[in-house]
Amino acid sequence: MSKEIRLLSTSAILGYGFPEASLKAGLDRDPHFIGVDGGSVDPGPHYLGSGKPFCSPIAIRRDLRLMLRAAIEKKIPLVIGTCGGAGGAPHVELVVSMVREIAKEDGLRFKMATIHAEQDKGELKRRVAAGTIRGLARQPPLTDATIDRATRIVGMMGPEPFIEALDAGAQVVLAGRASDPAPWAAAVTRAQLPPAPAWYAGKMLECGATPSIPKGHDSLFVTVREDHVECEPTNPARRCTPLSVANHSLHENSSPIHHIEPGGMLDTSDCRFDAVSDRAVRISGMRWNPADRYTVKLEGVELAGYRAICVCGTRDPLLIGRLDNFLDSVRSEVATKAEAFGVNPDAYQLGIRVYGRDGVMGAREPLRNATPHELGFVIEVVARENQEIASAVLGMARTNMLHTDFPGRLCREGNMAFPFSPSDIEVGPVYRFSVFHVAELDNPVELFPIEYEMV
């Protein structure tokens, strides 16, 4: 029988939840590893900037407890990447502290590795000076000023730090920002299996049962051998099909066949998808092309201002019929009144999203001229300096949305309906991505220090 490694991913993200029965069904198949991706850049810059998790700590703790118990009972490693959602220092510390607490409460004992991904600004400046950092997606060159403004910068590690931690005897590995497939690729390549099926397995496992139908937050069991990968959900209510697995290749990639990762590129252009049962699929034909230089992505955010929002709606056909003129009047009134209060137009941004017309796609909406019977508005103000200005300008915008007159207006009391009281919501600090670059490394682990402890 050929060499194989069996991997169990509990869900798409730690804290999304999974059925306990799915976990048990996976454990009954004797996996060599259990794990889950802990986060993503998808929810935007707020979580990296604020240091807060985007999944509920209650939900994270629930998933963690079940997975820790399973790993200790089965005497297998538990690996988690991008802890806490964004993988910065506070996100990692949140999950580390939860693991310590659960271990104490449940009487569990194990060696734990914590892999840090938040970057030292001085070290990044030295790398900028050495010319080993370049921009992604037409980003300008990274500067010391941009680094100084950044609230937090993380590096997206590959599999090598996970391999080092596992080789050191860690049974539980908690990592900061990591490439989503990296923990799984580490497990497979460490088992002396080729990198191509290793990375392909990681692409499947990073999202739990997402490659199956019907989609849902559930568990996926993957078996990796020398020349192929087999995927099967552990919940009998779901199944993998050649189409569902192939379709998953489109996930989070600009190309469905070329997936750039630290150290190289996974090429799936010649992949073959064969059903091995009505619930399992075998994938073969993937290739791994090593890169000339090892690089890791850097992600950083900076404070952009402070946000306040208001939600309201209208069903007035006369207002809807002249909406653009109405909104222009509101914006003009807000600018005039804000200046009267000493707030210059360049101190804030006012946005009004119109749901029911073009709230989702904006100017790209192909049916923008359709006439709806009702519209919903999300009024947003972002002030550069402080929350007080954002809230003040929002109050003016909300008042003018409610009371601005227009030709033919019949309603004398108010134009808008408000679903909430208070109507104005202070969102707080707003962050924007400012670092979207790659760093060339001589050693794949050099930016990712590892700490060990007996828990």
Query: Is residue 52 domain-shared with residue 186, that is, in the same domain?
Result: yes
Query: Is residue 154 domain-shared with residue 260, that is, in the same domain?
Result: yes
To the nearest whole number, what is the mean pLDDT of the chain? 96
- Please return the burial class of 337, using the count of CB atoms within 10 Å of its CB with bins 0-12, 13-18 and 19+: middle
Enter the pTM of the model: 0.94
What contacts 399, CB < 8 A, 6 or more positions away?
none
Query: Is residue 11 domain-shared with residue 137, that is, in the same domain?
Result: yes
Sign of CA dihedral 252, 159, 48, 40: positive
The region that residue 75 occupies, defined by phi over 0 for left and psi between -120 and 50 for alpha, beta otherwise, is left
What was the pLDDT predicted at 250? 76
Kindly tell me if the per-residue pLDDT of 255 is higher than 90: no
The DSSP annotation for 305-330 comes to EEEEEEEEEE--HHHHHTHHHHHHHH
308 within domain boundaries? no
358 within domain boundaries? yes
Write down the H helix ranges in 133-232: 144-149, 160-167, 182-190, 195-205
Query: Is residue 159 domain-shared with residue 281, that is, in the same domain?
Result: yes
What was the pLDDT predicted at 252? 73
Number of other CB atoms surrounding residue 29 within 10 Å:
12
- Report the range out of 4-13, 38-47, 248-257 with the highest average pLDDT: 4-13
Kindly tell me if the per-residue pLDDT of 442 is higher than 70: yes
Kindly tell me if the per-residue pLDDT of 101 is higher than 70: yes
Q: 451: pLDDT confidence band, cut at 50, 70 and 90? A: very high
Query: Is residue 57 domain-shared with residue 172, that is, in the same domain?
Result: yes
Kindly tell me if the per-residue pLDDT of 412 is higher than 90: no
Query: Is residue 225 domain-shared with residue 347, that is, in the same domain?
Result: no
What was the pLDDT predicted at 138? 87
Query: Is residue 242 domain-shared with residue 269, that is, in the same domain?
Result: yes
CA distance readout (Å), 244 to 234, 236, 241, 397, 406? 16, 16, 5, 46, 52
- Report CA 9 to chain centroid distance, whole Å: 17
Query: Is residue 335 domain-shared with residue 252, that is, in the same domain?
Result: no
Query: Is residue 206 domain-shared with residue 57, that is, in the same domain?
Result: yes
CA distance readout (Å), 267 to 261, 283, 424? 11, 13, 49
305 within domain boundaries? no
* Domains identified in the chain, total number: 2
Q: Domain limits at 337?
A: 316-416
What was the pLDDT predicted at 137? 82
Kindly tell me if the per-residue pLDDT of 216 is higher than 90: no
Number of other CB atoms surrounding residue 366 within 10 Å:
8
425 within domain boundaries? no
430 within domain boundaries? no
What was the pLDDT predicted at 411? 82
Q: 275: pLDDT confidence band, cut at 50, 70 and 90? A: very high
- Report the range out of 38-47, 112-121, 249-258 with the highest average pLDDT: 112-121
Alpha carbons 431 and 440: distance in angstroms, whole number: 26
What was the pLDDT predicted at 315? 95
The DSSP annotation for 361-380 comes to TGGG-TTTT---S-EEEEEE
111 within domain boundaries? yes
Alpha carbons 32 and 165: distance in angstroms, whole number: 16
- Report CA 7 to chain centroid distance, whole Å: 22
What was the pLDDT predicted at 278? 96
What was the pLDDT predicted at 72? 97
Average pLDDT over residues 176-189: 97
Convert the pLDDT of each residue in 416-438 to its tens digit. 999 999 999 999 999 999 999 99
- Tokens standing for residue 76: 């297998």
Query: Is residue 71 domain-shared with residue 216, that is, in the same domain?
Result: yes
What was the pLDDT predicted at 319? 96
- Report CA 28 to chain centroid distance, whole Å: 30
What was the pLDDT predicted at 368? 81
Average pLDDT over residues 388-404: 96
What contacts 148, CB < 8 A, 6 or more positions away?
121
Amino acid at 323: L
Query: Is residue 167 domain-shared with residue 24, that is, in the same domain?
Result: yes
Query: Is residue 178 domain-shared with residue 265, that is, in the same domain?
Result: yes
Alpha carbons 275 and 100: distance in angstroms, whole number: 42
Q: Beta strands of 92-226 (E only): which ranges? A: 111-115, 133-135, 150-156, 172-175, 220-225
Are 305 and 383 spatial neighbours (Cβ–Cβ below 8 Å)?
yes
Convert the pLDDT of each residue in 370-384 to its tens digit. 889 999 999 999 999
What percentage of the chain carries pLDDT values higher than 70? 100
